[in-house]
Amino acid sequence: MTDSLDSRTSWNRLAISLMIATIGNVGNWSIVLIMPAVQTEFGGGRADAALPYTLTMLGFALGNLVIGRAVDRFGISAALIGAALASGLGFLLAAASPSVATLALAQFIIGLGTAACFGPLIADISLWFRRRRGIAVAITASGNYLSGAIWPILLAPALAGQGWRVVYIGLALVLAATILPLAMLLRHRLAETSLTAEAQKSPFAPRTVPWSPRALMWLLALAGLGCCMAMAMPQVHIVAFCVDLGYGPAVGAEMLALMLAGGVVSRVVSGMLADQLGGVVTLLIGSALQAMALFLYLPFDGLASLYVVSMVFGLAQGGIVPAYAIIVREYMPAREAGARVGFVIMATILGMALGGWMSGWIYDLTGSYRLAFINGIAWNGLNIAILLLILLRSRPSLPPASGTAPA
């Protein structure tokens, strides 16, 4: 089997990774769909109902870091098998939950297992590409949004007819039947000769960087935290937002699916841009468009306009999170890909978790999501400021710099 980068083997692996990401990320979106039912069944405020989502994201964040490090040592296949079993167990425990607190703990396990299908999977596929790394990372990452676009439509009838507990039992069985065999197809690992700094070097590796790799990683993590604090408001609360406006949860699920379908398109386009412009510039473009889209939610709350704004939001921000992974791969060593990508992705997920909770908290205080949108816009500004600093202090070079990328 050939190990050359950007080869047919690489593209076949990408197709399998996309299937795994689309199926395996269901745990991130199922909790969004059941939030109104959870609030109805267990009572409490909007922030209480969002607690299971917050714990899902905390588990997802931790899993990206821990599993990312494990993938650097043991490979992605073993990580996926263990993670699928953990997620399945989490769904079964959630289905038997007698309280919001128990459900939240079960969702933490689901999030932990689901993580293997995001950051670690992205880090793995990034090693198999050099010239087309941007589009490869974007396609793998788009599996998360495809999951969010497909699963709400598939699950909505079952949720209405059978209830969320039955649906969760079914999801445990689906994961075991699909992820386990697909993971076995990724057992082959890249040859050592393909992991050298020269083989993996990006055309956008900077000539000089004024920070150590650790300091740059923390800067990117802070930017990702702020960016996803902003992203969380529409993604986490769009169903509840539509319920409050009188449109019902089914309409909210459709808007979520539309938003994430736009995100898939955005991720693919952003990946193509990253191969031409580099990760930092691509991320700045996406962040600026996200700020614009968040502003559009403030004046528009009609049914037709919300469909349009949700699509615009998805098209604006879909490529943002993969761009952080691309920057890590442009600026940092390949042998640390799992750990470095995992850390930065963990920060973006923490931003989603905190942003989801904070938006619910602001709603409980004010009775409206308006200030929650404004809060997101402010956090997005922090992200843009950090990216501008990185761009101005360490400009990527085209054509490829003659020196080596910093370690």
In a domain, 406, yes or no: no
In a domain, 275, yes or no: yes
CA distance 308 to 131: 35
- pLDDT of 228 reads 92
CA distance 353 to 143: 20
Its sign, for the CA torsion 320, 323, 325, 328, is: negative
In a domain, 194, yes or no: no
In a domain, 400, yes or no: no
- In sequence order, which ranges of 318-400 are alpha helices (DSSP H)? 320-331, 337-366, 370-393
DSSP string, 278-315: -HHHHHHHHHHHHHHHHHHTTT--SHHHHHHHHHHHHH
Q: Are 338 and 64 in contact, with CB atoms under 8 Å apart?
A: no
- pLDDT of 205 reads 57
In a domain, 398, yes or no: no
- pLDDT of 317 reads 83
Question: Among 25, 17, 35, which Cα is nearest to 240's?
Answer: 35
Q: Are 138 and 274 in contact, with CB atoms under 8 Å apart?
A: yes
CA distance 217 to 117: 22
Domain range holding 149? 8-187+201-393
**Regions in the chain scoring below 50 on pLDDT:** 1-2, 193, 196, 198-199, 398-407
In a domain, 1, yes or no: no
- Give me the CATH number covering residue 381: 1.20.1250.20
Tell me the helix, strand and coil percentages in the chain, rounded to 5: 80, 0, 20
CA distance 17 to 183: 9
CA distance 267 to 146: 11
Instruction: Check: pTM over 0.85? Answer yes or no.
Output: no
- pLDDT of 139 reads 92
Write a three-state SS string for 134-192.
HHHHHHHHHHHHHHHHHHHHHHHHHHHHHCHHHHHHHHHHHHHHHHHHHHHCCCCCCCH
The single-letter code of the amino acid at 246 is: G
CA distance 345 to 342: 5
In a domain, 193, yes or no: no
Number of domains in the chain: 1
